[in-house]
Amino acid sequence: MARRTLYRDGALADGRSAELRLGVSVLVEDGHIAWIRPSDGEPDPGPGGDLEVVDAGGTAFVPGMVDSHSHLTLPGGSHWIERGSDPPEQLLRVAEHNGELMSRAGVRWARDVGSPPGPDDEGTRRALSLGVRDEWRGRTDRPYVRAAGTWVAKAGYLPALTVEASDARELRAAAGRQLDDGADFVKLMLDGPEPGVAPWTAEEVRPVVEDVHARGAKVTAHATYSACTRVCAEAGVDCIEHGFELDGDTARLMAERGVALSSTLAVMKSWLTFGRTTTLPRFVGEESERRIRDRLAVAQEGVRNAHRAGVLIAAGTDFGGGSLRANQLAWEVEALVEAGLEPWEAVAAATWHGGLVLGEPSAGVIAEGGPADFFLVHGDPLSDPSALWRVWRVAW
């Protein structure tokens, strides 16, 4: 890779407004953005044979995307739940493949919200994603990773994949152990063994949030049912994952308390494709399709409620822990637009909004002096989100 690269005459799509900034040139030096200037007023980049000039004409610069809900060690697909029980060595190979897919698709940051436990290089048993994060640190061909460790759940809910807690005391202890293991934040499962019933009360979750905040970390929570999302909002977790059933009152409470939403609408879009590509009863047939479409409609209304209330919305795929794959964040951007967001708002959800959820100010941002974490697509993603599928080149 050239030490200096001049990307000439592209259009800037930074997800801050609906307008493209046309005629833009970007000079990258040693992996950082030296300047961003109008193409007809470029400074002299200086002499030297180490300068590569890239004709960016007809493409748009997009900030490296943030997949706000990912599972690096799992492959996704229609058998995603079973794959969580694959041997650890297989799951680590899956992670390497996923990292390559993400990078090529313009995803620069992975917010891993749960992985199965397994032995690390020193024999310590902890979430496999934590070892992946550490292994990828400093590699330019893999995303930056922030990882939650292993899911913390009520006993009896996905016991093979989670750290279980039977009561509020065990819940606090299990959350603390994830931070002890090196997790960047904590993931709670606020769905439980009984569908539609929150496994914990807000009074039981709130001390966990306080404990984690006292250690300088954040708490996120998987919640798909209305009773469960309500507990999350009342307890003041930092982010709700999925949030498929969000009524207006809960959305307003989220906005008041600074609770973000990590959307995963495209999960149900993928389920609809399985009706034609699999023989699995839960996806095949008119009744299955009707059930999925009804659930998607409710989830779309939840996103609209969150948007109207001013909740920060970040885009995730749930790949691995759900049915999508690691290079399909563009699908979620399209799904957010279908739910009612403007295209530029959906691009924001997949870029700098994800950075806010992570607490990483440079994530999802193109700025002078910052890292050259951007990619180039054919088309205008601020009016046509399908442009995000047409990745031409990544700058990292």
pLDDT at 304: 98
CA distances to 8, 44, 331, 365 from 24, rounded to whole Å, are: 7, 15, 27, 16
pLDDT digits 0-9 by tens, 339-369: 999 999 999 999 999 999 999 999 999 999 9
51-79 average pLDDT score = 97
Report the predicted TM-score, pTM, of the whole model to 2 decimal places: 0.96
Which pLDDT belongs to residue 339?
98
Q: Write phi, then psi, for 23 (nearest 5 degrees).
A: 65, 55
Which pLDDT score is estimated for 121? 64
Q: How many C-beta atoms surround the C-beta of residue 50 within 10 A?
A: 11
Q: What is the mean pLDDT of the chain?
A: 96
Over range 153-174, report the average pLDDT. Answer: 95
Answer for the pair 377, 339: CB distance below 8 angstroms, yes or no. no
DSSP 72-122: TT---STTHHHHTTS-HHHHHHHHHHHHHHHHHTTEEEEEE----EEE-TT
User: What residue ranges do the domains of the chain occupy?
Assistant: 4-63+364-394, 65-358
Strand pairing of 239-242 and 260-263? parallel
Checking if the pLDDT of 279 tops 90, the result is yes
Lowest model confidence (mean pLDDT) among 44-53, 227-236, 237-246: 44-53
Question: What is the spatial distance between Cα 303 and Cα 339, in angstroms, rounded to a whole number?
Answer: 7
CATH of 4-63+364-394, one of 3.90.1150.10, 3.40.50.620, 1.10.10.10, 2.30.40.10: 2.30.40.10
- The SS3 of residue 349 is helix
Q: Say if residue 389's pLDDT is above 80.
A: yes
What are the pLDDT digits (tens) for 16-32?
A: 999 999 999 999 999 99
- pLDDT over 90 (residue 170): yes
Q: What is the pLDDT of residue 95?
A: 98
Give the mean pLDDT of 367-385: 98
DSSP lists the bridge partners of residue 144 as 109
pLDDT for position 188: 98
In tens, the pLDDT along 323-347 reads 999 999 999 999 999 999 999 999 9
Residue 2 has what pLDDT?
59
Q: What's the confidence (pLDDT) of residue 90?
A: 96
Q: Is the pLDDT score of 1 beyond 60?
A: no
Homologous superfamily, domain 65-358:
Metal-dependent hydrolases (3.20.20.140)
Instruction: Judge whether residue 231 has pLDDT over 80.
Output: yes
Strands (E), the chain: 4-12, 21-29, 32-38, 51-55, 59-63, 65-70, 107-112, 117-119, 125-127, 144-147, 152-154, 163-165, 186-189, 219-223, 239-242, 260-263, 313-315, 374-378, 391-394
pLDDT tens, position by position, 250-264:
999 999 999 999 999
Residues 364, 376: Cα–Cα separation, whole Å: 14
